Structure formats: structure tokens, C-alpha cells
Amino acid sequence: MTESLFSPYRFKGLELNNRVVMAPMCQYSVTAKDGIPNDWHHVHYVSRAVGGTGLIVIEMTDVEPDGRITDNDLGIWSDEHIPAFAKLVNGMHAYGSKVAIQIAHAGRKAEDAKQPVAPSVVTFPGENFKTPRALSTEEVQVMVQKFADGVRRAVQAGVDAIELHGAHGYLIHQFHSKLMNHREDEYGKDLSRFGCEIIRAAKKVMPDTMPLIMRISAVEYADGGYDIDHTLDISRAYKEAGVDMFHISSGGEGPSGTRKPGNYPGYQVPFARRFRDELGVPVIAVGLLDDASLAQAVIGNGDADLVAVGRGMLRDPYWANHAALKLGADVKQAAIAQQYTRGY
């Protein structure tokens, strides 16, 4: 095994102390409903930096108010958001973590929007969801610019990488899915077009050395949903447009049908491996990888370049430090904060 979970990782201008990623997880905690991160977010994210996480991905942050899942979500639709995000990023940087941010729009899954927007008039199943309005061709083009503006603001706030949310049934995913995109214009004829335009617009406002990550659902579980071959085809276009790294998840487009998610530790890792092998790009694996030995094996086997931990980090802000100790590092190698070393 030439690489381990706690090997440094270098890619373009991104330099990580280890290969542990904090997966983006919505906190639904913007009590002022203005999209601006508050004290909760500062404590939540900075504590994971103290806990030794290599790369922290700030939760889904939306490009317009009605693009949020709920009104309690983060947003980046105004320059007024930049100072609070900059403070948050600086706090994580102070303890050695690098920071990405997930830029997104919920589309038809925007629960608190008066009327959500989507590629087509296809309602997400469930009583919490409203019938969306289909975006006009001109509105789609405006939406591309909203994503670019959000990316620009995140760059100004000092992040180290950008992640576009193209998974879990949100707007970019909606456009590249036949289940949700029934358009007859150019954005329906080419299912990758919307995502590619966002990618190219994002790259124009990002430093050349900054990686652009795309989170993508490798397969859909709803009946009639796409399989991984479709996603790989879409992702080849995304790579050509400028995606540097893929973050491989699955599902989120609706209730599962005949095909069910594995929901066992490592069930999504084979998807990540196929992306890495077939597209020749770095990948982040995610999905019940909370056990340090399993996360180590994912890196050691060459299945992925980075491992994202979600619920494990909700339970333990110091997951990375504790994983390093479990895997045989001493306190200094595990980067335990000096103030806490006597606890070990």
C-alpha cells in the first residue's frame, strides 16, 4: 500500500494534510433565514478543523433564495454574504483544514419556495413538495450566471475548492436526468448542456490552480432511472468542460423502485472506482465509510483518492484525529491539538 488515509494529498493548488473529507451536510440552522452563516456554523465547521479533517466541504449553499431546500439553508446570492463566509473559512484555515463549498440550487426540491423551478413540470413525490414551474430557455441561461456569481463570491471568501452539486435530485441533476428533464429545447436535447455551461462559467471566475469538483449521483434508484453508463457519458462531457474531480454518491431523485441502494458500508465505493478508472480523474468516495479501517482500505486499494465522512463526523468532530490513532499514529502524527494532548 503506497498511499494511506493519512498521506498528504496534492492536486493542482490544493494541498491537504490527509485524505479525510468532511462531506457536505445541511444544518438547516440559518435562523435569520438570510442565507448567512452564523455562530452555529462557525462552531460546527471550525471544530472539525480542530479535529484534524483534511478538507471540509461547506454544506449546500444556494445561488438564489428560492433555490434553498428550506429557508433555513445557507445562500450565496449576494455580495453581502461574503464577509461571513470569509470569517468561517479563515476559522477553518487557522487549524490546518482546507475548505471547499458546495454551490447548488434545489430546483423542484425547494420546499419553502412559493413555486419551485425545474427543467420540466415534474413534481418530486411527497406531500412536502410543490409542483414546479419549468424554466424558460432564457431563465436557464440566467441561472447559469447565478451559479457563476455564487462561485465568484465563494472564491472571494477564500475557499480552496468549489464543489458543484450535481447529485441527489437537485437542479443540475434534474437537467441531466431523463426522469426529470422532458424539455424540447437545447437543454433537453443535450442533457449535459446545463451542467457544462455552469462548469465553464465557474472556471472563468476561479483561479487556474483551484480544483472544481462535481458531486454526482452515479445511479438513480427510481424505476426508469439512469444507470452508471449514462452518468459516465454525462461526466465525460463535464470533464471536458472543466471538472477536475468527481465526488461519487447515488440516488436522491425520488423514492427507490425495484433497484435499492445498498446502505451497507462501502456500497458506493465501486461507483467511485469506475469513475476513477474510466475517466482518469481523482475521485472522492462517500457512503457509510465511518470505520477508519474501511476508509483506509478505500485509499490503499486505489478505489478513490479521498474519502468523505458524513454521519461519522456529526457524531464525532474529531473523527479524523481518532481515526489516525486507531490506525496506529501517535498523538503528534495524528495532529491532536496541543491543548488536548494530555487527554490522550
Work out the average pLDDT over 20-39.
Answer: 98
Q: Please choose, from the candidates 157, 170, 160, 241, the residue with its C-alpha nearest in 3D space to the C-alpha of residue 204.
A: 241
Work out the average pLDDT over 219-228.
Answer: 97
Q: Please, which residues bridge with residue 260 across strands?
A: none
Classify the C-alpha dihedral 330-335-341-344 as positive or negative: negative
Work out the average pLDDT over 318-337.
Answer: 93
Other C-beta atoms lying within 10 Å of the C-beta of residue 144: 21
Q: Please, which residues bridge with residue 55 across strands?
A: 21, 98
- Cα 281 from Cα 289, distance rounded (Å): 21
Q: Please choose, from the candidates 112, 161, 131, 130, the residue with its C-alpha nearest in 3D space to the C-alpha of residue 12.
A: 161
Which pLDDT band, with edges at 50, 70 and 90, does 3 fall under?
confident
Residue 93 confidence (pLDDT) above 80: yes
- Among left, alpha and beta (phi > 0; psi -120 to 50; other), residue 142 is alpha
> Tens digits of per-residue pLDDT, 55-68?
999 999 999 999 99
pTM for the model: 0.98
Q: Quote the percentage of the chain above a pLDDT of 70.
A: 99
SS3 of residue 320 by DSSP: helix
- Cα 295 from Cα 122, distance rounded (Å): 38
Q: What is the pLDDT of residue 2?
A: 65
Distances 91 to 47, 185, 219, 280, 301 between C-alpha atoms, Å: 9, 45, 36, 34, 34
Residue 234 confidence (pLDDT) above 80: yes
> Tens digits of per-residue pLDDT, 267-295?
999 999 999 999 999 999 999 999 999 99
- Cα 67 from Cα 149, distance rounded (Å): 14
- Cα 124 from Cα 108, distance rounded (Å): 6
Other C-beta atoms lying within 10 Å of the C-beta of residue 149: 19
Length of the chain: 344
- Cα 195 from Cα 164, distance rounded (Å): 9
- Cα 203 from Cα 238, distance rounded (Å): 12
Work out the average pLDDT over 307-330.
Answer: 96
Contact indicator for 45, 100 with CB cutoff of 8 Å: no
Strands (E), 63-124: 74-75, 98-104, 117-118
Residue found by looking up cell 414551474 in the block: 133
> For the chain, give me the number of helices (H) and strands (E)?
11, 13
Residue 133 confidence (pLDDT) above 60: yes
